[in-house]
Amino acid sequence: MTPDWQIRVDGEGITQALEPDLVSVAVSDAAGGAPAALVIQAADTPEVAAWAHAGAEVGVGLGYTDSGLIDLGIFVIDEVSTGDPPQTLSIGGSSIESRDATVRILRQRAWNNRNVGQILQDIAAEIGYGSAVSVDLVAEPVEHWGSDGETVVEAFSRLARAYSGIPTVEDRCLVISRRWSGAAPAGILPVTILSSLDLTHWSLSHAGGDSLEITMPGRPQLGARFALYLIGFDGGENGVWIVDQVEHRIDNSGFVTQISALPPAP
């Protein structure tokens, strides 16, 4: 299969114009509240410099010519740096979907005798987002909770971690979930079955808790908190794993997806 990609800047397609200058494009996602991130490496040419500036909105699709592209979202450029040799531009951005949650300061508030679901709903309402909490956490009682001088994402991430939850921002919705509960609060977590034949490299570590590192041909459908079901391995890899971090990258070596996964929460 031949890797394929598409780049749009402020709604205008620039894929063909960028192709001679592109070095790599990578999109990463992680559980824990941080926004998805984009990094484009390209030759430092006037054509690239014309659009590579802070505040530009970059849409990205990755995939294959025979199966089509997966839209990985729109990112707002927040960093442009140069390097050499050869002279290149590194263009970094964060997901526009979670930008409000990342930068908006939550007004000073205090909650008494509420539950996790009610507090998250109030936090999300500050920026016009929805909220969703795993069924085993939504009614968890909270005697007192306060926020002062935090961004929205800082406040809701702190709330999630206080109750052993995972904070994420999905489709203008603040989500607190368990690492694995069979169903996500915003719908069923996709489950992808993988065998050793699907991977190019993997390693299982038991230091400080089990973790699994996977390298495989590009699978842009996979995101943070997706469930993987591994079969046919010789060691302790078989079973359910939850994607904690994922990066999809296209460069002159091809299309690669790298995953860090954790076992389900007990």
For the segment 216-257, what is each residue's pLDDT rounded down to a tens digit? 999 999 988 888 999 999 888 999 898 999 999 999 999 999
Q: In angstroms, rounded to a whole number, what is the distance separating the alpha carbons of residues 196 and 192?
A: 13
Ranges of beta strands (E only) in 65-209 are 68-83, 88-95, 109-115, 130-133, 141-147, 166-169, 173-177, 191-195, 201-205
Q: Average model confidence (pLDDT) for the chain?
A: 88
**Dihedral angle sign, alpha carbons of residues 43, 49, 55, 60:** negative
For the segment(s) 191-262, the CATH number from 3.40.50.10420, 3.40.640.10, 2.40.30.150, 3.30.70.100 is 2.40.30.150
Residue pair 90/80 in contact by the 8 Å Cβ criterion: yes
Q: What tens digit of pLDDT does each residue of 122-157 get?
A: 998 888 888 888 888 889 999 999 988 888 888 888
pTM: 0.78
CATH architecture observed for domain 104-177: 3-Layer(bab) Sandwich (3.55)
Q: What tens digit of pLDDT does each residue of 76-104 get?
A: 999 999 987 789 999 999 988 766 666 67
Q: What tens digit of pLDDT does each residue of 27-42 get?
A: 999 887 677 899 999 9
